[in-house]
Structure 1
Amino acid sequence: MVKNDKITPKVEHYGCMVDLLGRAGLLKEARELIERMDIEPNVIVWGSLFNACSIHGDIEVGEWAADHIFNLEAMDGGSYVLLANMYAAAGRFDRVKAFRQAMVDASFCKLPGCSMIEIGDVVHEFLVADKTHPKSEEIYSVLDELSDKLKTATGSMRLPALAGEHLESS
């Protein structure tokens, strides 16, 4: 890019490359690219690596990326939850408990996930662990059935954010 097109890479170019490498599972290469950057990585670059680490289960690199995110955006509760979910997926429940308690002590909050669907002329809104919908019992029953089918098909449940939040509220 620099040699052929005389274009100096910007942080957005690096962010795209880190995202591509991360999605391909090339976390070591993504980390090396960040370490070689001649400009300061922003929260998007770190977030791309962090999300890839969550998908691929690399806690060591994930912690490294998370530390940088926390330094840039200390009050981002979503990143703290994602790291806690990584610990849960790895069976490190002592870290999950300690991390979640630290979040409570520091008054971190994460906005609940929200989805909407329109059926006919009615818009249905769903929040994580929300049981106020008139058909919530039926909805959670279907979710449990889908979770069981997914576990059977994949041999595991790699959805800690979905499963964990639902189970914690039950």
Structure 2
Amino acid sequence: MISDVMAEAKEKMQKAVEVAKDDFATVRTGRANPALFQKVLVDYYGTPTPLGQLASMVNQEARTLVITPFDKSALKEIEKAIVSAPNLGANVGNDGSIIRATLPELTEDRRKEFVKIVRDKAEQSRVALRNIRRKAKDDLDALKEVGEDEIARAEKELESITKSHVEAIDEALKRKEAELLEV
């Protein structure tokens, strides 16, 4: 019983850390990276679809990404979605079959703004971890056929698991901040 609750909490916390790292990857650092464009939603036949499902993306140069749509009829919609995507500011051009997205140089103010965005994403992830911990603690408290000592031990273990996952998010945040502030 306790081990099931702990295993579920551990798994959910690990997924929360992975989501945080994925979110960090969507914040640009001055280099064109396909991960920046993965979550851009394109209106594809009336359905918001992630760009990663509609096109292949390849780095051509440090700040230029070449986007090749799988369906050429979606070219205009992809271009429109990239132009309107927040936090990208990409200059977009297409030649009828591919799209070239060039990211502008980052100013120091823009870098600091991105650091704030990343810190906010990290805080949201920490809140998610605390919510997972709270649910696991409630599940442990709901166990009637287990002794109080075992529940207390499990709660201590839950705290240490939570702490290690929060530290993983903080470490990823530190790396991303250093990457953003690097000129």
Structure 2 length as normaliser, TM-score?
A: 0.22
Higher-RCO chain (CA-CA 8 Å, sequence separation at least 6): 2
- Comparing both structures, which one devotes a greater share of its residues to strand? 2
